[in-house]
C-alpha cells in the first residue's frame, strides 16, 4: 500500500468529517458544496483503487453495503428507561415533592422549599436511540425496544449526518454510551410526503411515525434519502474515567465537544419557578421550531444527586416529562365495551366514531374503572370529547351533556364477566372490579401472555394469536399445559408449519432453564414486578421457602428491601389458593426447579460475603444527606455486599444512620432515638472490619 495514498486518505477523512460536523451540527459551513464534493470523490476513488484504505469512520461508509435481511435483537449495555409524565404544574410540583422526600430534603412545615438546580430540555417528538462507541468509533446503534433490548440498526444510523462516526476527542474513553432522539424535521417530512403523493403511495401520518418507519428500513440508501437528524442528550462513561461531567449541564457541553448535535434550547434552571417559566415560554415558542415537540424534560442537574434519587421499576426519579395540553376532538359514543385483564380486572372501553388526533385516527379509549365511568356520567349515544394523553394514549376528557339524546340510558359496568359470565367482585377500598374465576378464558390468555413475555420466561414464537387459538380450542387450560403440547398438534393450528411448531416446542423446553426470579415474575402474582421478583428470589431461594414465609412469617418478606405489606399480603393470598398450589406442583413435575440454581446461589453468597467477610451481617442502616465521595446507591451497594440492610426510615431497630452534608429529618430522628450516627469515614471503617 502506498504511504502517500494512506496519508492522503487520512487527510481527506479528517477534512470531510470536520466539514460535515460544521455543516450538519454547527450550521456553519467550512467549504462550498462543490469543494466538498470534489474531496469526497477523491476519497472515493482512492478507496476504490485500494479497498484496504476504507475505514469504518470514512464518510463514504455512511451509506454502503447491501440491504439487510432483518434486524437482530441486542441487549443494551445500560437500559433505556422511559420517563414518567406530568400533565400540569400541579403534577410537576408533586413530582418535585417526591424528589425532595427521596433525597431526604423535605422542609419542615412552613419552611420554604429547597431549590435544586435543574436542566430544562425540549421533549423532541422522535425516536430514542442508543449509540455505542468503542475507543471513539461508532460500533453499534439500537432502538429503545423494551428498554433492555432493542433492534440493532447501525447501518441506518450511520446515514444520519449529525451522528459522528468517530468522536472528536484526542483521547476518547474505552467505551461510551450516548442516548438521543432521531427525528425528521417538519420541512423534510412535508417533502417526503409530497414525493410519496406524486408516486401514489400512502402518506406518513406524522414526522414521528415517518422517523420510526425510516429507521426500520432494510435498505440504508432509503434511510439516507430521508435525511434524518439527531439530538444527543445523555451520556454514560466508564467508572473512574476523567475528566467526567458532574452535572447534566456539563454532560451536554461534553457531548457538543465530542462532536454531537445538542438541542440549543436547553437551559440551566435554578428553581422550580424557573422550570415553570421555561415550560410556559416554550408552549408558544415551540410552534416556530422546525421540528415537533410535545413538552419539556426536566432533569435534576447534579449527577450525584441523580444517583442518590435512583429509579423506580420503570423510570428515573430525578427526571420527568412535562407535557403540553393535548389536541382534543368531539365524537359520538357508539358503545361501551369491557376488557378482562390477566388479573381479572374489568376495564371499560369507550368505542366512538373515529376521529383524527395528533396525527393518527382513533376510535377507542379506556375509561379505567367504574369510578371514572360514574364520574363522566356517560350515557348511550353521548357526544364525548376525546384527546391523546401525552399525545399517545386516547382518553375521554368529558361528556357534552347538553347534546345528550332524549331518554338516553346511563351506562355502567356489567354485573357478570363478559368472557365467562361469572359474578364480578369489587372489594371494599379498591377501585378495580374483578372476575375472580381462575378458569376464565380471558384471565388464562393474559396469564399465558405474561408467562412467555420478555421479562418472564421469554418464549419466542408464542404470540397472542396462537395463545387465543390454544385457549379457544381448549388445548391449554393452564401455564403447565403449554409444556404438554407436541409439535404435531401445534403444526395443525392456523399459521403454524412443522418447522415453527418444532421451534416452539424447543423454545418451551429451553425456558425451563430460566432463572428463579424470572419464573417467579412469570407467575403473575399481583404487585410482584420484575424488580420485586429479583429481590424476593434473592431472599428466598426456592418457591417452598417463599410460600412458607408468606403463610407463617410475613415479616420476613417485608424485611426485604423495597417489599411492603401489600406485596406480602398478595403473596399470602396467592399461595393460599388451591389452583395456584396445583400449578406449582404441575410445573415441578414438568421439570421446573422453581428455585435458584447452584450458580445463582453461589453468586448470591458472593454478594453477601463480598466485602469485609459479611462484616455488617444483621445490621440495618439508613442513609441521609450527601456523602463526600460515595453516592447513595454506591453506599447502599457496599452495605448490602457486606451483609447489611439499607432502610428508608429510622426506627429503634436501626443500627446506624450514615449522615452526610445537608442531612435532614432522618438525622434529627436518629438523635432523638439515640441511634448511632456515622459519617462516611465511619462507614468505611465498619466495612473494613
Active site residues per annotation: 123
3-state helix, strand, coil in the chain (%, to 5): 40, 20, 40
- Residue 133 to residue 148: CA distance in whole angstroms: 18
Q: Burial letters for 88-103: b for 16+ Cβ neighbours within 10 Å, e otherwise?
A: eeeebeebbebbbebb
Q: Count CB-CB contacts under 10 A for residue 160.
A: 25
Place of cell 435534576: 300
- Residue 420 to residue 444: CA distance in whole angstroms: 11
Q: Which residues contact 543 (CB under 8 A, 6 or more apart)?
A: 520, 584, 594, 595
Question: What is the DSSP pairing of strand 293-300 with strand 319-323?
Answer: antiparallel
CA distances from 1 to 46, 49, 100 (A): 11, 11, 63
- Residue 303 to residue 633: CA distance in whole angstroms: 12
Question: What is the DSSP pairing of strand 360-366 with strand 346-357?
Answer: antiparallel
* Cell of residue 537, nine digits: 428470589
First to last CA, the chain: 62
Find out whether 373 and 348 touch, Cβ atoms under 8 Å. yes
Strand, helix or coil at 51?
helix
H/E stretch holding 385: strand 383-389
Cis peptide before 243 (omega within 30 of 0): yes
Strand, helix or coil at 138?
strand
Going by the DSSP 8-state scheme, the letter that residue 247 receives in this structure is B
Q: Write the DSSP string, 26-38.
A: SS--SS-HHHHHH
Find out whether 217 and 156 touch, Cβ atoms under 8 Å. yes
Going by the DSSP 8-state scheme, the letter that residue 466 receives in this structure is H
- Residue 434 to residue 343: CA distance in whole angstroms: 8
Strand, helix or coil at 525?
coil
Find out whether 321 and 295 touch, Cβ atoms under 8 Å. yes
Find out whether 650 and 665 touch, Cβ atoms under 8 Å. no
Residue 127's nearest CA partner among 254, 238, 25, 226 is: 226
Find out whether 157 and 129 touch, Cβ atoms under 8 Å. yes
Q: Count CB-CB contacts under 10 A for residue 602.
A: 11
**Residue 249 backbone phi and psi in degrees, to 5:** -65, -45
- Residue 179 to residue 141: CA distance in whole angstroms: 10
Question: What is the DSSP pairing of strand 175-183 with strand 127-134?
Answer: antiparallel
Find out whether 436 and 425 touch, Cβ atoms under 8 Å. yes
Find out whether 555 and 548 touch, Cβ atoms under 8 Å. no
Residues belonging to the chain = 689
* Cell of residue 320, nine digits: 420527568
Amino acid at each position: 500500500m502506498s504511504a502517500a495514498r494512506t496519508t492522503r486518505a487520512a487527510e481527506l477523512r479528517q477534512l470531510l468529517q470536520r466539514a460535515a460536523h460544521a455543516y450538519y451540527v454547527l450550521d456553519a459551513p467550512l467549504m462550498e458544496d462543490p469543494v466538498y464534493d470534489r474531496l469526497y470523490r477523491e476519497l472515493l476513488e482512492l478507496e476504490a483503487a485500494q479497498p484496504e484504505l476504507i475505514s469504518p469512520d470514512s464518510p463514504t461508509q455512511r451509506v454502503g453495503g447491501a440491504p439487510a435481511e432483518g434486524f437482530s435483537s441486542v441487549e443494551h449495555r445500560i437500559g433505556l428507561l422511559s420517563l414518567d409524565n406530568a400533565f400540569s404544574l400541579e403534577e410537576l410540583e408533586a413530582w418535585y415533592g417526591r424528589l425532595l422526600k427521596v433525597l431526604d430534603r423535605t422542609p419542615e412545615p412552613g419552611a420554604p422549599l429547597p431549590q435544586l438546580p435543574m436542566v430544562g430540555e425540549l421533549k423532541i417528538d422522535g425516536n430514542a436511540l442508543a449509540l455505542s462507541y468503542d475507543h471513539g468509533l461508532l460500533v453499534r446503534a439500537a432502538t429503545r425496544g423494551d428498554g433492555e433490548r432493542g433492534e440493532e440498526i447501525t447501518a441506518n444510523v450511520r446515514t444520519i449526518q449529525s451522528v459522528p462516526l468517530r468522536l472528536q476527542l484526542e483521547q476518547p474513553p474505552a467505551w461510551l454510551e450516548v442516548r438521543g432522539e432521531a427525528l425528521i424535521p417538519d420541512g423534510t417530512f412535508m417533502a417526503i410526503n409530497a414525493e410519496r403523493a406524486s408516486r401514489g403511495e400512502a402518506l406518513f401520518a406524522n414526522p414521528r411515525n415517518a422517523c420510526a418507519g425510516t429507521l426500520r428500513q432494510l435498505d440504508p440508501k432509503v434511510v439516507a434519502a430521508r435525511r434524518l437528524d439527531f439530538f444527543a442528550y445523555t451520556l454514560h462513561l466508564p467508572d473512574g474515567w476523567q475528566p467526567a461531567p458532574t452535572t447534566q449541564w456539563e454532560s451536554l457541553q461534553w457531548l457538543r465537544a465530542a462532536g454531537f448535535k445538542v438541542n440549543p434550547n436547553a437551559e440551566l434552571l435554578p428553581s422550580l419557578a424557573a422550570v415553570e417559566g421555561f415550560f410556559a415560554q416554550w408552549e408558544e415558542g415551540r410552534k416556530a421550531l422546525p421540528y415537533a415537540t410535545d413538552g419539556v424534560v426536566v432533569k435534576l442537574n447534579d449527577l450525584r444527586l441523580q444517583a442518590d434519587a435512583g429509579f423506580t421499576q420503570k423510570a428515573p426519579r430525578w427526571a420527568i416529562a412535562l407535557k403540553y395540553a393535548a389536541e382534543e376532538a368531539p365524537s359520538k359514543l357508539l358503545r361501551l365495551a369491557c376488557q378482562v385483564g390477566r388479573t381479572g380486572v374489568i376495564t371499560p372501553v369507550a368505542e366512538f366514531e373515529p376521529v383524527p388526533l395528533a396525527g393518527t385516527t382513533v376510535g377507542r379509549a379506556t375509561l379505567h374503572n367504574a369510578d371514572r365511568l360514574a364520574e363522566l356520567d356517560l350515557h348511550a349515544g353521548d357526544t364525548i370529547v376525546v384527546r391523546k394523553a401525552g399525545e399517545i394514549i386516547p382518553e375521554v376528557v368529558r361528556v357534552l351533556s347538553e347534546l345528550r339524546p332524549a331518554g338516553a340510558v346511563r351506562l355502567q359496568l356489567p354485573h357478570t364477566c363478559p368472557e365467562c359470565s361469572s359474578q364480578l367482585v369489587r372489594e371494599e377500598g379498591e377501585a378495580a372490579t374483578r372476575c375472580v374465576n381462575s378458569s376464565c378464558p380471558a384471565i388464562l390468555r393474559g396469564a399465558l401472555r405474561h408467562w412467555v413475555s420478555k421479562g418472564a420466561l421469554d418464549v419466542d414464537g408464542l404470540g397472542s394469536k396462537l395463545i387465543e387459538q390454544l385457549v379457544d380450542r381448549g388445548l391449554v387450560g393452564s401455564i403447565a399445559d403449554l409444556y404438554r403440547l407436541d409439535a404435531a398438534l401445534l403444526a395443525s393450528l392456523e399459521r403454524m408449519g412443522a418447522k415453527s411448531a418444532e421451534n416452539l416446542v424447543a423454545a418451551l423446553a429451553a425456558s425451563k432453564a430460566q432463572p428463579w426470579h424470572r419464573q417467579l415474575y412469570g407467575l403473575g402474582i399481583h404487585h410482584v414486578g420484575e424488580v420485586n421478583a429479583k429481590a424476593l428470589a434473592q431472599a428466598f431461594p426456592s418457591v417452598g421457602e417463599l410460600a412458607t414465609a408468606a403463610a407463617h412469617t410475613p415479616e420476613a418478606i417485608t424485611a426485604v428491601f423495597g417489599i411492603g405489606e401489600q406485596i406480602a399480603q398478595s403473596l399470602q393470598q396467592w399461595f393460599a389458593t388451591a389452583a395456584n398450589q396445583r400449578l406449582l406442583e404441575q410445573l415441578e413435575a414438568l421439570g421446573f426447579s422453581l428455585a435458584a440454581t447452584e450458580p445463582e446461589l453461589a453468586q448470591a453468597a458472593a454478594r453477601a460475603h463480598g466485602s469485609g467477610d459479611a462484616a455488617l451481617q444483621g445490621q440495618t442502616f439508613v442513609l441521609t444527606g450527601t456523602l463526600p465521595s460515595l453516592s447513595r446507591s454506591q453506599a447502599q451497594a457496599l452495605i448490602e455486599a457486606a451483609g447489611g440492610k439499607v432502610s428508608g426510615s429510622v426506627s429503634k431497630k436501626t443500627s446506624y444512620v450514615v449522615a452526610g452534608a445537608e442531612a435532614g429529618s432522618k438525622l434529627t430522628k436518629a438523635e432523638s432515638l439515640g441511634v448511632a450516627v456515622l459519617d462516611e469515614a465511619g462507614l468505611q471503617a465498619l466495612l473494613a472490619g
